[in-house]
Amino acid sequence: MKKTINLVSLITAIILKGKKCNTDTDIANLVINGAKKINELYSKKSDDITTPAGLVLKVGVYFNLEKPLTVTNTRKEHYPMARRIACKLLKDNFYLSHKEISVLLLYKSGYCIKNTMSEINKALLYDAKFKMAYEEIKVIYNLR
């Protein structure tokens, strides 16, 4: 029952993601596309989320990144947001030190992670797009 409620709220959130719908067909297409996205993400779900590297890979899958976050530190497309979300999830779920996260995500030092964590906390309060992606990943992969 809880997963059904989460799916319904996730589909509703995807629909209301700033899209303007003029007709019922637009709404139906948004719901169908949202359901396809959820189905695709659930089908890619596996047990490798139990390791930090597996979590980072799953965040990359969510954002459809060409290169894994552990290989590149580019600023193109969704990489910065994906890296920040992965950083927050690693800290919350695996209790890694700043140094360990910086090594895994190719940051220069643990101090960079400390600064990034303060940026993430601000983004969770003020950036709706960031918060939406973060919450979707937490729901899909059953993370805290």
Q: What is the CATH number of the domain that holds 90?
A: 1.10.1750
> What's the pLDDT at 4?
46
Same domain, 117 and 82: yes
Domain that holds residue 27: 1-43
Write the Ramachandran bin of 16: left for phi over 0, alpha for psi from -120 to 50, otherwise beta: alpha
Same domain, 32 and 54: no
Helices (H), 44-97: 52-62, 79-94
Q: What is the pLDDT of residues 83-125, one digit of tens each?
A: 999 999 999 999 899 989 988 888 888 888 999 999 999 999 9
> What's the pLDDT at 86?
93
How far, in Å, CA of 66 to CA of 32, rounded? Answer: 25
Instruction: Provide the pLDDT confidence category of residue 132 given band limits of 50, 70 and 90.
Output: very high
Same domain, 80 and 134: yes
Q: What is the pLDDT of residues 28-80, one digit of tens each?
A: 676 676 666 666 655 554 446 788 888 988 898 888 888 777 777 777 767 88
Q: What share of the chain is helix, strand, coil (3-state, %, to 5)?
A: 70, 0, 30
Same domain, 15 and 66: no
Tokens 């890296």 -> residue: 83
> What's the pLDDT at 138?
92
> What's the pLDDT at 89?
94
> What's the pLDDT at 2?
44
Q: How far apart are the first and last CA of the chain?
A: 18
CB atoms within 10 A of CB 10: 20
Same domain, 97 and 80: yes
The number of domains in the chain is 2
